[in-house]
Amino acid sequence: MASSDVARQPDKGVRSLSLAGHVGFDSLPDQLVNKSICQGFCFNILCIGETGIGKSTLMDTLFNTNFENFESSHFEPQVKLRAQTYDLQESNVRLRLTVVNTVGFGDQMNKQESYQPVVDYIDRQFESYLQEELKIKRSLHNYHDSRVHACLYFISPSGHSLKSLDLVTMKKLDSKVNIIPVIAKADTISKSELHKFKIKIMSELVSNGVQIYQFPLDDETVAKVNTTMNGHLPFAVVGSTEEVAVGNKMVKARQYPWGVVQVENENHCDFVKLREMLICVNMEDLREQTHTRHYELYRRCKLEELGFKDTDSECKPVSLQQTYEAKRQEFLVELQKREDEMRQMFVQRVKEKEAELKDAERELQGRFEQLKRLHAEEKAALEEKKRLLDEDQSSFGKRKAAAQLLQAQSLTANGKKDKDRKKKNDG
């Protein structure tokens, strides 16, 4: 569209222009890819399946390496998840792969809560990403993304239908993670049984409303291959890390007395299809779906749960910040109220204690008065006695004095008489 004759477009209108020469921004995708190569990629797979169904073997086969695996017992009291992270490299691409395995899934007598640890794990990864995103100082591009990108659900090759545990678990997980169901140990099912089995599984999933991951059809380059593959779900896989000689090649296979099941032979099992879809064609889409659909859903629910809304009661847009301010105010008011309450209670208690102490003091005072009175009375009584005694004593003293005087008088009187007599006698 020539640009020189366009005049009446609004200022902010977006128009298409044709370039008169080579500008060079077609290198942009390359620049983007180069940056990603420097940063490395992250991919997290969750494998859910019963013990011994072949999860670890399949992972080993898929990524052509020997992850550290150890066999788990069948006697786990609860379902646990074990996550292991590996750094893989192929040509110039570095991949940080995290494989999460369920331990003890389907082994318990009561399987009602079996799905819960899995759901909790997935939610925990979303939560830690959300926390990082909400931080003030954050480093999202350095963040090790641990959110589960793909969930391989291993279906037992019974040949009949899905177990109710399978349905319940998948139903709980379908809105949280991209579920890719696979039929494990597919070498135990014959071809015709397999076909019927697959149809049964898909119809059960549909009738129970379980949303499994559909390979994306919007990009023309891969739409065709994805449509075909969508029709082959669930993939019937066989895993093996052992090599068997077939013809003049060594291939990954399982050797039986009646023949050799070749893992990478498309006639034998769907392993190649799984690898194709999971890794070669749709890895980026899996990551994107996890981020834009499942994570956003989690985030929305979590924030709404905390009371944040985008619009308030009058349908005016409310920013997160306003809601925060409101909440914070609420919180502060609540805090203040509690503080006041506590203060009140404290004052009350102090008053009570004071009253108590006052009472005690009064009582003591009363007793003291009483004792004092008693003491005074006793003292008075004693004083009285003392006085009487003193009186007695003084009166006795007087009497004694009087008696002595009398005696003395009588003596002198006698002496005088004697003297007189003597004088008379003398004279």
Partner 1 sequence: MSEAVVPDAMVSPAVGGPYGEKAGGPMLDFSYVGIDAILEQMRRKAMKQGFELNIMVVGQSGLGKSTLMNTLFKSKVSRKSVLATAQEKIPKTVEIKSISHDIEEKGVRMKLTVIDTPGFGDQINNENCWQPIMKFINDQYEAYLQEEININRKKRIPDSRVHCCIYFIPPTGHCLRPLDVEFMRRLSKVVNIVPVIAKADTLTLEERDFFKKKIREELRANGIDVYPQKEFDEDAEDRMINEKIREMIPFAVVGSDQEYQVNGRRLLGRKTKWGTIEVENIAHCEFAYLRDLLIRTHMQNIKDITSSIHYEMYRVRRLNENNTMVLPPNRTN
3-class DSSP state of 144: coil
Of the two residues 71 and 218, which places its CB atom closer to partner 1 in the complex? 218
Comparison of 28 and 109: residue with beta carbon closer to partner 1: 28
Do residues 183 and 198 make contact, with C-beta atoms less than 8 angstroms apart? yes
The answer to whether 28 contacts partner 1 (rule: CB under 8 A) is yes
**Shortest Cβ 357–partner 1 spacing (Å):** 42
**Stretch binding partner 1 (CB under 8 A), from 13-21, 164-172, 175-183, 399-407:** 13-21
- Listed in sequence order, the residues at least 6 apart from 39 whose beta carbon sits closer than 8 Å to its beta carbon are 141
* Residue 158 interacts with partner 1 (CB under 8 A): yes or no: no
How far is it, in rounded angstroms, from Cα 99 to Cα 148?
9
Query: Whole-number minimum distance, CB 322 to partner 1, in Å?
Result: 10
If one asks whether residue 252 binds partner 1 (CB under 8 A), the answer comes out as yes
208: how many CB neighbours lie within 10 A of its CB?
A: 15
Q: What is the 3-state secondary structure (H, E, C) of 300-323?
A: HHHHHHCCCCCECCCCCECCHHHH
- From residue 345 to residue 384, the character string flagging contacts with partner 1 as x (rule: CB under 8 A) and all else as - is ----------------------------------------
Q: How many residues does the chain have?
A: 427
Closest CA relative to residue 63, chosen from 30, 96, 37, 36: 96
Site for partner 1 in 58-87 (CB under 8 A): 62-68, 85-87
Buried b (16+ CB within 10 A) or exposed e, 261-296: bbbebeebbbbbbbbebbbebbbebbbebbeeebbe
Q: Long-range contacts of range 351-359, CB-CB < 8 Å, 24 or more positions apart?
A: none
* Residue span 295-314 as binding mask against partner 1, x where in contact by CB under 8 A, dash where not: -x--xx-xxx-x-xxx----
Contacts of 226 (CB under 8 A, 6+ apart): 215, 216, 217, 277, 281, 282
Site for partner 1 in 40-59 (CB under 8 A): 41
Q: How far is the CB of 35 from partner 1 (least distance, A)?
A: 6
- Taking each helix axis from N to C end, the angle separating 164-173 and 191-207, rounded to the nearest 10 degrees, works out to 50
**Residue with smaller CB distance to partner 1, 135 or 417:** 135
Query: What 3-state class would DSSP assign to 332?
Result: helix
110 is a site residue for partner 1 (CB under 8 A): no
Q: Which is nearer to partner 1, 36 or 409 (CB)?
A: 36
Q: How near is the Cβ of 201 to partner 1 at its closest, in Å?
A: 24
Taking contact as CB under 8 A, which single stretch among the options 9-17, 336-344, 383-391, 411-419 is the one that binds partner 1? 9-17
> How many other CB atoms sit within 10 Å of the CB of residue 419?
13
Residues 212-251 that bind partner 1 (CB under 8 A): 218-219, 221-222, 225, 249-251
Q: How many CB atoms lie within 10 A of CB 375?
A: 10
Q: 85 or 412, CB closer to partner 1?
A: 85
CB 169 within 8 A of CB 197: no
Site string for partner 1, 259-298 (x = CB under 8 A): -----x-x-----x--xx--xxxxxxx--x---x---x--
166 vs 270, beta carbon nearer partner 1 = 270
Residue closer to partner 1 by CB (options 97, 212) is 97
Q: Is 35 in the site for partner 1 (CB under 8 A)?
A: yes
Select 292 or 393, whichever has its Cβ closest to partner 1. 292
Strands (E) across 126-224 are located at 150-155, 179-183
Site for partner 1 in 315-334 (CB under 8 A): 319-321, 324-325, 327-328, 331
Applying CB under 8 A, the site for partner 1 has a residue count of 103
- Footprint (CB under 8 A) of partner 1, residues 115-154: 124, 127, 131, 134-138, 140-141
CA 241/CA 57 separation, integer angstroms? 7
